[in-house]
């Protein structure tokens, strides 16, 4: 049985999110990502789109504040993340997960395209954690 990616270990084991958490918030996630994708399409809109995505991800992480310190400590003590900010690693783990989640039913083709553009843009900037951070988190190309 293949080992699950580290980003999933952080989210599901350390922070104790459940698949239902993401399923229950699918529509809200899609709406927020669609707005961010629309901003990304604007001239010089990258910073606004990236900011919206990071805000969404950290807002979701903060739902599990009781488990956050444990997750951050694990990241701090993981050699692969020694040169990365633990909060950024957790945030990017969440962002990667929500950008990989299948959109809710009824999402338009434009909204799906917005999410694809966001994933592509984050891949272009190595998800803000660099290639080695991406590899350590188990984040392959989408």
State the pLDDT at residue 48: 94
pLDDT tens across 85-105, in order?
A: 999 999 999 999 999 877 767
State the pLDDT at residue 3: 86
Mean pLDDT for the chain overall? 92
pLDDT band at 41 (very low <50, low <70, confident <90, very high): confident
- Provide the H-helix boundaries in the chain: 6-8, 19-24, 26-41, 46-61, 65-76, 86-100, 109-124, 130-137
* Span 53-73, average pLDDT: 97
């Amino acid at each position: 049985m293949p080992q699950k990616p580290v980003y999933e270990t952080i989210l599901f084991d350390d922070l104790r999110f459940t698949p239902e958490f993401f399923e229950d918030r699918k529509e809200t996630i899609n709406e927020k990502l669609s707005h961010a994708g629309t901003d990304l399409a604007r001239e010089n809109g990258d910073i606004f789109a990236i900011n919206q995505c990071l805000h969404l991800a950290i807002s979701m992480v903060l739902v599990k504040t009781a488990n956050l310190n444990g997750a951050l400590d694990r990241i701090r003590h993981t050699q692969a993340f020694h040169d990365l900010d633990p909060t950024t690693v957790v945030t990017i783990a969440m962002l990667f997960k929500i950008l990989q989640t299948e959109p809710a039913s009824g999402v338009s083709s434009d909204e799906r395209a917005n999410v694809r553009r966001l994933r592509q843009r984050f891949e272009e900037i190595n998800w803000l954690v660099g290639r080695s951070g991406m590899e350590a988190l188990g984040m392959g190309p989408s």
